[in-house]
Amino acid sequence: MSAIINFKMNIELFNQLTAEQAFKGKKGTYVNLTMSVEDESRYGDNCGIFLSQTKEEREAKTERLYFGNGRVAWVAPEGIVVAEKESNDEVSSVAAPALAGDTDDLPF
């Protein structure tokens, strides 16, 4: 685990989503969200979560739909690494130790 981030989300904003912003998955309907983490803190929060934007929306500087904010509560000494997509076989073998109850590295 590289970090723990706590969030407060305004779930009433989900009512503002359009059908184009959501997509069907195997286990339900999903929406892509983006989280930003800043080095500096304002009011004790240094993270934000908002509706993901297309390249065109970002270039047009379209206003973001913010769902909430939060703060980094803990970061591993080795820091955070960029996640890379793994095949299903690799995910199963990587996830197995965590399912077996190996929680000695938790900060609490």
| pLDDT score of 3 | 86
Summarize the confidence of residues 34-41 as an average pLDDT.
Answer: 91
- φ/ψ of 25, rounded to 5, equals -120, -175
How many CA atoms, within 13 angstroms, populate the side-chain half-sphere of residue 53?
15
Summarize the confidence of residues 93-108 as an average pLDDT.
Answer: 43
Q: 1: pLDDT confidence band, cut at 50, 70 and 90?
A: low
pLDDT digits (tens, 9 = 90+) for 41-96: 878 899 999 999 999 999 999 999 999 999 999 988 888 888 888 876 544 333 33
